[in-house]
Amino acid sequence: MHKNVKLLALTAAAGIAVFALAQWPVKGLFAQLGGSSLPAGLEAIVASRELSPDDVEAALKTYVPPGSYDEFLLFASGGQAGNIEVIGVPSMRLIKNIPVFSKDSWQGFGIGDDDTKRLFKQGAAAGQIQEWGDVHHPALSLTNGQYDGQFLFANDKANARIGVVDLRDFKVRQIIKNPLIATNHCGAKMTENSEYYVEGAQFGNPLPFTEFSPMSKYKENYRGLATFWPFDRASGKFVTNRSFTIELPPYYQDLGGMGKKISHGWVFINTFNAEMATPGALEGKPAMEVQVSQREMDYLHVIHWKKAEELLASGKLPTRTISGMKVVSIDQAVKAGILYNIPEPKSPHGSDVTPDGRFIVVSGKLDPHVTVFSFDKIQKAIASKSFDGKDPFGIPIIKFDAAVEAQVELGLGPLHTEFDDKGYAYTSMFLDSSINKWTLEKGPRGEKPWSLVESLPVHYNTGHLTVAGGDTTQPYGKYLVSLNKWSLDRALPVGPLHPQNLQLIDISGEKMKLLADAPVVGEPHYAVMAPAKIFKPWKVYPEVGLNGLTLKKSATATAPGQERVARNGKDVHVYMTAIRSRFVPDRIDVKQGDKVHLHITNLDRAEDATHGFALSAHNINLSMDPGLTVDVDFVADRSGVFPFYCSEFCSALHMEMMGYLTVAKGN
């Protein structure tokens, strides 16, 4: 069956080639396949759909026959939708949504269950539960600088939080909130062996942000920072009480490039607003966009975190505790030789380290070049104290000329850079709406070093791009996805809010080739892409009665035959099981004012036998994957009769999988 499909596709390609020979200028694939005969019908399809040879080639390259799988998985940030979308490549089909900071009623995430309540509580900001997030930078866990398929991390720019997704079940296990800062950005990058997740602030604020200080004291009292959160692979969690933070000036810390191989132990975080401007439009101040673009240069922070870690371990680096966080002051960081600045051109954004760790590529949004710094030169400049004075906070400024390796003119609005397996670099050009391919120190096909090779238009205003493994020590290459901010005419009109547009680009050949448009939900920022085969997710949970958050046997798991209702004063505990196609018990009779604790165990062991639990008029929908025990608490505060039912169509008798909650009037 499978073989036949492939055979058909091949014959189709061959056949189309003949047709193409007759109709269009002959190119690539068609030239190679010419001479075969065209199966009946295919010629008509190509003609009626008005497909060009390029279209047909793209179709054949992206077509994944029914029942077959994609080669890569793309984890794309859903931006202010607060989620991560898992997309198959090359088909660009949405395979899964992972809710991280925002609710998702399909997965019963945040729709009443105790586990999400606990998670959201971990992620409370200034004491308030936040039910959404702004995901910018997903990151995969690394072993020796390469994706290991175990964990996925995502930052929430809006609330300076980080979520950990366990890739055994593609679910969030932990949300941490940085108590010092309101917003983050540079995060979502892991060190080479997932030792630390590095979180940088975005907008300056007093430390902590919950202390008021007037804007007029911005320079004195506002700060930025970089927090190093140690990740413990065994527990799959951040060990928050072992974190350390390096205080930074109140420039806006933006993206960070993580050192690799020879530069392992260092992180390179760019900043903007070295002007330290503050808003005040009504007081006659120019707009922030004007104030923040005054200077020719901002600063790239160069941080030796490995040395900080060592000095902290031996007690040689003084810290103070703020809001429970261990903070190294700017002064101490400078004194210890772990913090430097390098000037970087106008409105910097991306900071990306080459796979060999030798170069750091920085893009200034308002500079037509990308600037390439050499790690080796930075080391030499530090050793020889090749400094250009200090910034207002006493941080030594490494001489630009001493650190720069090359400036490559690419065009307008360069943002982010990634690398392929052949030695090319690719930069997203926001203003030019293109992906620009360029050479590093060697042109893989003999091109000039440090030079633009090719520019491919994208639609439109690309933000990030991602190459498969493009931020690791060993990129896979083959595919590149451009994550575009505007879509304009790229999708059928569906009202004034357009879908955002991802575009799949084939980078395996000499020329880049646009293969597909893929509209997505939410604002796409960064994405990471890895071969599907590195992931080994469970098909069902390994045992029955697991708690979905701890993955340990739940204290409230209920074995078949053990279903019961236990009343303790006003607390009513219901130990329920779900199995195709019934709930036991299927009637819950309580009095108004009772506190109901439902504990539902899905006893099914079959793959995909998920049950739901939707309770009318109580804002509750649970999702119980096979093996899970899910808990929910609520007060039966209104009298009445409330049906509950399974909200996953699980069997032929799914419609009958129901019950009633009856609430008698209290007195």
Residue 525: which of ligand K7E, ligand CUA, none does it interact with, CB under 5 to 8 A by kind? ligand K7E
CB of 203 to ligand K7E, least distance (A): 12
Residue 654: which of ligand K7E, ligand CUA, none does it interact with, CB under 5 to 8 A by kind? ligand CUA
CB of 413 to ligand K7E, least distance (A): 11
Q: Is 430 helix (H, G, I), strand (E, B) or coil?
A: coil
Q: Per CB under 6 A, does 648 bind ligand CUA?
A: yes
Residue 650: which of ligand K7E, ligand CUA, none does it interact with, CB under 5 to 8 A by kind? ligand CUA
d(C-alpha 114, C-alpha 131), whole Å: 14
Q: Is 424 helix (H, G, I), strand (E, B) or coil?
A: strand
Among 196, 209, 375, 526, binds ligand K7E (CB under 6 A): 526
Instruction: Give the HSE-up count for residue 416: Cα atoms under 13 Å, Cβ half-sphere.
Output: 24
Identify residue 219 by its one-letter amino acid code: K
Structure tokens at 217: 């004291």
The residues in 132-191 that bind ligand K7E, with binding defined as CB under 6 A, are: 136-137, 185
Instruction: Map residues 451-480 to x or -, x wherever contact with ligand K7E holds by CB under 6 A.
Output: ------------xx----------------
| Contact between 154 and 171 (Cβ < 8 Å) | no
Count the helices and strands in the chain (H runs, E runs): 11, 45
For the chain, the C-alpha Rg in angstroms (whole number) is: 28
CB of 630 to ligand K7E, least distance (A): 34
Identify residue 120 by its one-letter amino acid code: F
Question: Based on CB atoms, which residue is closest to ligand CUA, 192 or 648?
Answer: 648
Q: Per CB under 6 A, does 622 bind ligand CUA?
A: no
d(C-alpha 121, C-alpha 663), whole Å: 29
Q: Per CB under 6 A, does 349 bind ligand K7E?
A: yes
Residue 648: which of ligand CUA, ligand K7E, none does it interact with, CB under 5 to 8 A by kind? ligand CUA
Among 408, 425, 530, 650, binds ligand CUA (CB under 6 A): 650
| Contact between 91 and 97 (Cβ < 8 Å) | no
Residue 255: which of ligand K7E, ligand CUA, none does it interact with, CB under 5 to 8 A by kind? ligand K7E
Calculate the CA 518 to chain-centre distance. Answer: 17
Continuous segment of H or E residues that includes residue 42: helix 42-48
Span of 38-46, 271-279, 315-323, 645-653 interacting with ligand CUA by CB under 6 A: 645-653
Q: Per CB under 6 A, does 657 bind ligand CUA?
A: yes
d(C-alpha 109, C-alpha 367), whole Å: 43
Question: Based on CB atoms, which residue is closest to ligand K7E, 394 or 457?
Answer: 457
Instruction: Map residues 84-123 to x or -, x wherever contact with ligand K7E holds by CB under 6 A.
Output: ----------------------------------------
CB-based burial, 417-444: b 16+ in 10 Å, e otherwise:
bbbbbebbbbbbbbebbbbbbbbbeebe
User: Residue written as tokens 């796979």?
Assistant: 355
Q: Per CB under 6 A, does 490 bind ligand K7E?
A: no
Q: Per CB under 6 A, does 415 bind ligand K7E?
A: yes
Span of 117-125, 441-449, 494-502, 648-656 interacting with ligand CUA by CB under 6 A: 648-656
Among 329, 581, 639, 662, binds ligand CUA (CB under 6 A): 581
Look at strands 620-624 and 587-591 and give their pairing.
unpaired
CA distances from 340 to 299, 305, 395, 557 (A): 9, 12, 6, 54
d(C-alpha 380, C-alpha 368), whole Å: 28
Question: Based on CB atoms, which residue is closest to ligand CUA, 190 or 646?
Answer: 646
Q: Is the peptide bond before 90 cis (omega within 30 degrees of 0)?
A: yes
Q: Per CB under 6 A, does 168 bind ligand CUA?
A: no
CB of 611 to ligand CUA, least distance (A): 4
Q: Which residues pair with 198 in a beta bridge?
A: 189, 228
d(C-alpha 190, C-alpha 529), whole Å: 15
Binding site for ligand CUA (CB under 6 A): 581, 611, 646, 648-650, 654, 657
